[in-house]
Amino acid sequence: KIDAGGEPALQLDVTLARPKVQVIKHYIIYPRVAMIREWTDYVNTDSKSHQLAQPSFLEQKVMGDAVDDTDLHWMRGAYMSVL
């Protein structure tokens, strides 16, 4: 449990590690407002640069096919958008 901006929240960090790269998926769940914040950190653990060719294994499909009557809201910085 954490305090995120004055709201009680739960945080989950999932780390995937390979010899030259580490990927950390972060989730903060705000139960009172039914919101989940998610972001990904990519860390090069090698001294050389590398290209992450197909990071598709990190994609998620949460809602399945039941999206007809769904509005998605997201915030980036100080702006809010509706999809």
pLDDT tens digits, one per residue of 12-31 = 999 989 888 898 989 888 88
DSSP single-letter state for residue 46: S
- The dihedral through the CA atoms of 55, 12, 21, 40 has a sign that is positive
At residue 2, the pLDDT reads 77
The model's pLDDT over 24-60, given as tens digits with 9 standing for 90+, comes to 989 888 888 777 888 888 899 999 987 877 766 666 6
CA distance 81 to 22: 30
pTM above 0.75, yes or no: no
